[in-house]
Each structure stands twice: as C-alpha cells, then as structure tokens.
Amino acid sequence: MYYTSRDLKNTDIDAYTFFNKSYGDIRKQTYYQYLPDRHYTLFGGRGVQRVSVVPGLSVTGEFAYEAGTEES
C-alpha cells in the first residue's frame, strides 16, 4: 500500500507499507535454493520540503523499518 499527499504548499508526503509471507517450499532443506517459512513487514515514509527562498532547493527526510521472522 502506498499513500502520497501533495496537499500542503511546497511539501510532499509519501507513506508505504508492505507485507510478505512465504511458506511451504517443496524442495528438500539440504537443497541450496531451499527457502524456509518466513514473513516480514516493512513500512516507511518520506517528506520533501521545497525551500521557496532558493529555487530548486529542497530538504528530504526518509525512514523505513523492517521486522519479521524466519523458521529454519
């Protein structure tokens, strides 16, 4: 899911979240491409402020966080 806002003057705000779950790999655990059951969640955001005093200059801040588990 992704959200973008351009409602504020000289400011852009973006937010996102992503969830992934993979399980049930039919390959043997000893096979080098085997993927154990796992899931992870990622979310983050970004803000951009355009400086009106200096044309073309902007300040950007961004963060992201990821958490999950893997059953080996």
Render pLDDT for 30-62 as a digit per residue (tens, 0 to 9). 888 888 889 999 999 999 999 989 999 999 999
Domain interval for residue 36: 2-70
Distance, in Å, from the CA atom of 59 to the CA atom of 67, rounded to the nearest integer, reads 28
29: alpha, beta or left? (left if phi > 0; alpha if psi -120 to 50): alpha
- Going from the C-alpha of 21 to that of each of 3, 52, 65, the distances in angstroms are 22, 44, 17
* Dihedral sign from CA coordinates of 25, 27, 33, 34: positive
Count of structural domains, the chain? 1
pLDDT at 47: 97
Q: What global pTM score does this model have? A: 0.69
